[in-house]
């Protein structure tokens, strides 16, 4: 149903020009207003809304600079609509509610929406819900790709929970591998989560110093981890006080070493084989299992 999502990102000052250039902005959809948090300079603000005519609603926000619902923080805008023109008001309300619920665990962002959505906000028939859930997931991806990590979840856990987990007996080392990344000024351990994310373990030590090759996103992330207490400075190192999930092995390695890094070859098992080697072996074992299964069927 939702074959194409169109995202339009622009500065607040360009609203008039965007309405002329993109007439589809007058359709139903959702929008995100982005700016700095005046109370806490290190945070950003993200306001999520919906409308049957996004262009008109944004124009109202833009002209209401001193009113009850003024959006003084607003500097950047992301509008999300269906390119196939098949979103309704109910669809937009459902998407808005899902997006607001999806922003609750990132300390880098403030959400000034006056009310949190109720459980039945934007209630839809089951046949429509799956398509809207896909729209929500793709919206989060698009907003992240545009440079705003509003929907990035901070997954650190308290030290007590980590210690309890570490006292449990470990299973098959091949089924539950531990990868290590060590060097001058850093020593980190990483596991894979059930969902396939790359979890740097509590107690891991990252390098304080960074190089000129460090990605800008990694700089911002390391600052966020420090501000939130997920890592703390300890002499010449940054120590992870709780587990933290990364989307890729390279992102985890870059955060540890403070530089651009190819995590696929830098994270290693105790026997010296790399994450890339281990991943390739999983593909091979999967193919072997498939062959065995086919042999049994043939017999």
Residue 155: predicted pLDDT = 53
Supply the pLDDT for residue 169: 41
Q: Would you tell me how many other CB atoms lie within 10 Å of the CB of residue 144?
A: 15
pLDDT at 280: 79
Q: Dig out the tokens for 32 from the structure.
A: 């995100």
Beta-strand pair 44-51/109-110 = parallel
Residues in the chain: 299
Cα 90 versus chain centre, distance: 26
Q: Coil, strand, or helix at residue 265? A: helix
Contacts of 295 (CB under 8 A, 6+ apart): none
Beta bridge partners of 5: 82
DSSP label at residue 240 = E
Alpha-carbon gap, residue 151 to 260, rounded angstroms? 24
pLDDT score of 232: 93
Dihedrals phi, psi of 88, to nearest 5 degrees: -110, 175
Residue 66: phi, psi to the nearest 5?
A: -120, 10
Supply the pLDDT for residue 160. Answer: 39
Please give the Cα distance from 241 to 223 (Å, whole number).
15
CA distance 200 to 241: 10
228, two tokens: 């939130």
Closest by Cα among 203, 201, 185, 199 to 257: 185
Please state, as a whole number, how many other Cβ atoms lie within 10 Å of the Cβ of residue 53: 14
Q: Where are the domains of the chain?
A: 5-145, 159-279
Cα(257)–Cα(188) distance, integer angstroms: 10
**Can you give the pLDDT at residue 37?**
76
Give me the average pLDDT of each 10-residue run along the chain (299 residues): 76 92 93 83 83 92 68 90 81 89 74 65 71 84 82 54 40 67 94 80 94 84 87 92 85 91 92 88 53 41
**pLDDT reported for residue 90:** 86
Q: H helices within the chain, ranges in order?
A: 15-21, 54-63, 89-101, 126-145, 159-166, 216-228, 249-257, 263-266, 275-298
The predicted pLDDT at position 228 comes to 82
């Amino acid at each position: 149903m939702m074959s194409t999502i169109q995202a339009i990102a622009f500065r607040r000052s360009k609203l008039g020009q965007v309405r002329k250039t993109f007439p589809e902005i007058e359709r139903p959809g959702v929008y995100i207003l982005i700016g700095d948090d005046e109370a806490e300079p290190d945070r950003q603000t993200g306001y999520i809304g919906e409308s049957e005519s996004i262009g008109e609603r944004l124009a109202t926000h833009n002209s209401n600079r001193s009113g009850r619902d003024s959006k003084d923080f607003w500097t950047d805008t992301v509008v999300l609509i269906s390119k196939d023109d098949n979103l309704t008001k109910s669809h937009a309300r459902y998407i808005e509610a899902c997006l607001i619920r999806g922003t609750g665990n990132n300390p880098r962002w403030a959400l000034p929406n006056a009310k949190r959505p109720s459980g039945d906000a934007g209630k839809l028939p089951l046949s429509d819900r799956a398509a809207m859930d896909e729209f929500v997931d793709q919206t989060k991806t698009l907003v992240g790709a545009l440079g705003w990590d509003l929907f990035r979840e901070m997954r650190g856990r308290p030290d007590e929970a980590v210690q309890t987990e570490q006292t449990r007996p470990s299973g098959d080392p091949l089924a539950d591998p531990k990868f290590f990344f060590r060097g001058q000024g850093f020593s980190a351990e990483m596991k894979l989560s059930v969902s396939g994310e790359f979890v740097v373990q509590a107690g891991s030590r990252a390098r304080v110093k960074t190089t000129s090759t460090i990605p800008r996103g990694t700089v911002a992330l390391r600052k966020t981890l420090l501000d939130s207490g997920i890592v703390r400075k300890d002499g010449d190192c940054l120590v992870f006080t709780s587990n933290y999930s990364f989307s890729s092995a390279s992102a985890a390695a870059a955060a540890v070493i403070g530089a651009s890094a190819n995590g696929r070859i830098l994270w290693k098992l105790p026997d010296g084989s790399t994450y890339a080697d281990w991943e390739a072996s999983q593909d091979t074992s999967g193919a072997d299992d498939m062959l065995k299964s086919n042999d049994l069927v043939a017999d």
